[in-house]
Structure 1
Amino acid sequence: MTYIEESLSSGEKIEALFPLHWFARVPMYLWLVLAIPTLGLTLILALYEYLKLKHLEQGVTNKRVILKRGIISRNTEEMKLQSIETVEIEQGIGGRMFGYGTVKITGRGISDVTFKGIDDPMQVKRDIESVSNPLG
């Protein structure tokens, strides 16, 4: 069971989970390729990258936006949907060409949740906005 599933409150349901783009796995593959000339020394780094990606959860429920990171420890960033002020997309040239980017959700005060390396950031923005503003 994932953290997002475990943390659901009464009446809360998952609306969307946001996968990483395949570009997010490139560092892991580079460390694997470098394992050949380094006689396997970089395999530990490849394993770390794999575990880091495996234990990353990003999603939206009908009550909040959730970002969870951590292999052994757990670091979460959560924001209630009522607190959301803006949902912004950051995409460079490569992101526009290959369909990945960063989605930054800004809330009241100084809080924000940032999904980096997300696949199809425009769809993520639409998913979050459709849940946080069901009438608009």
Structure 2
Amino acid sequence: MAYIDDKLGRGEKIVHQGHQHIIVVAVKSIKWVGLFVVAFIAALWILTTNPTEEWQKTAKTVVELALALTCLIAFVKLFIDYLVWQAEEYLVTNERVIKIWGIINKNLSDSSLDKVNDVEMYQSMFGRLWGYGTIKILTGNETGANEYDYISKPNDFKKAMLDAKNGFFGDASDVALQERTMRTQPQPMPIPPQPRFYEERGAAVPRQQAQPPNYGYQNQPQPKAAPANPSQADIPTLITQLAILRDQGVLSEAEFQEKKNDLLRRM
């Protein structure tokens, strides 16, 4: 896991990662490179000599050890400068600008994008040729400005900052709002189980019988059974009750017409 992974907030993501230009290593290590070259050439020259006296041989050995130690120190210093350059990172997230430096003792400084007032970029002639420049971030903090020198591809770094500040990559509040909405959103009602059939005396019978549609007759009294020999005064009432049963789906249209004609013949 990278050092920055557990330093990011909820919903925060890295949108650009930059370093200082490799020329920084060359500038810082040029003296050590020169010392390494001089010591190496001097060691080769001494190795070609052939001293005759005993003290000359001893002096030659001491000089050779000193030159070898000088070459080793120069090489180690050059390697350390490279590690320092590699460990120094400039990150742009959708919330802030972060600078990380240090090999063993890690250091971190950041500037919130909300407090960034302006971003300035400066490139010298050699900076334009080699692709490096200086980024100056003007903030509302007490320090006033953060200046990053020798940034590789400074134009891409500045564009990433401006896009992040303008909300092009979103922000952490979007994630928080989404999680809060998911917690407060009502959960869907569970679907009731469908009636299952079970075997009863060899026949499939549903557990719950479906009720016939009412069609607006909820408040009307249910029709009573028709008497065996209705009087002429009861026949209109019976026909009305038959119509209700037809509308409720109890009687078909043919059954309704048959019973209706039967009652009319009795009038």
Same fold, TM-score > 0.5, yes or no: yes
**Contact 1:28 1:45 survives alignment (8 Å):** no
Q: Is 1:66 aligned to residue 98 of structure 2?
A: yes
Corresponding letter in the other structure for 1:11: G
- Residues 99 and 110 in structure 2, CA contact (< 8 A), matched pair in contact too: yes
Code of the residue aligned with 2:37 in structure 1: it is I
Say yes or no: does 1:3 pair with 2:36: no
Q: How many residues align?
A: 135
Which secondary structure does the structure 2 equivalent of 1:66 belong to? strand
Partners of 1:60 and 1:66 within 8 A in 2: yes
Within the candidate set 42, 57, 82, 1:50 is matched to 82
Q: Structure 1: any 5+ residue segments left out of the alignment?
A: none
Give how far 1:102 is off.
Answer: 1.1
Q: Does 1:24 align with 2:24?
A: yes
CA distance in 2 between counterparts of 1:2 and 1:57 reads 12
| TM-score, normalised relative to structure 1 | 0.86
Instruction: Say whether the 8 Å CA contact 1:77–1:113 is kept in structure 2.
Output: no
Q: How much has 1:52 moved relative to structure 2?
A: 0.8
Q: 2:115–2:141: 8 Å Cα contact kept in structure 1?
A: no
User: What TM-score, normalized to structure 2?
Assistant: 0.46
- 1:64-122 per-position Cα deviation (integer Å, ceiling 9, x unaligned): 10001112222221011101011111222211222211111121033333322111111
Which residue in 1 is equivalent to 2:138?
A: 106
SS in 1 for 2:38: coil
Distance 1:61 1:8 in 2: 9
Q: Quick one: distance in 2 between partners of 1:19 and 1:51?
A: 12
Alpha-carbon distance between aligned partners in 1 of 2:11 and 2:29, rounded to the nearest angstrom: 41
Residue identity in the other structure for 2:98? I
Contact 2:121 2:135 in 1 (8 A): yes
Indicate the residue corresponding to 1:14 in structure 2: 14
1:28–1:49 CA contact under 8 A, matched in 2: yes
Answer 1 or 2: which has greater helix percent: 2
Give the aligned CA root-mean-square deviation in angstroms: 2.0
Aligned to 1:115: 148
Match of 1:134?
167
Give the equivalent residue in structure 1 for 2:125: 93
Q: Percent identity?
A: 30
Deviation at 1:33, TM superposition (A): 5.2
What SS does the aligned partner of 1:42 have? Answer: helix
SS in structure 2 of the partner of residue 2 of structure 1: coil
How many Å apart are 1:55 and its aligned residue?
1.1
Deviations 1:22-60 (A, max 9, x none): 322313663345313234131232122112112111111
Select the structure that is richer in strand. 1
Higher relative contact order (CA 8 A, sep 6+): 1
Name the CA shift for 1:2/1:115 in 2 (closer, same or farther; >3 Å): farther
Read off the aligned partner of 2:139 and give its amino acid letter.
G
Return the alpha-carbon distance in structure 2 between the equivalents of residues 120 and 54 of structure 1. Answer: 16
Q: Max radius of gyration: which structure?
A: 2
- 1:78 alignment partner in structure 2: 110
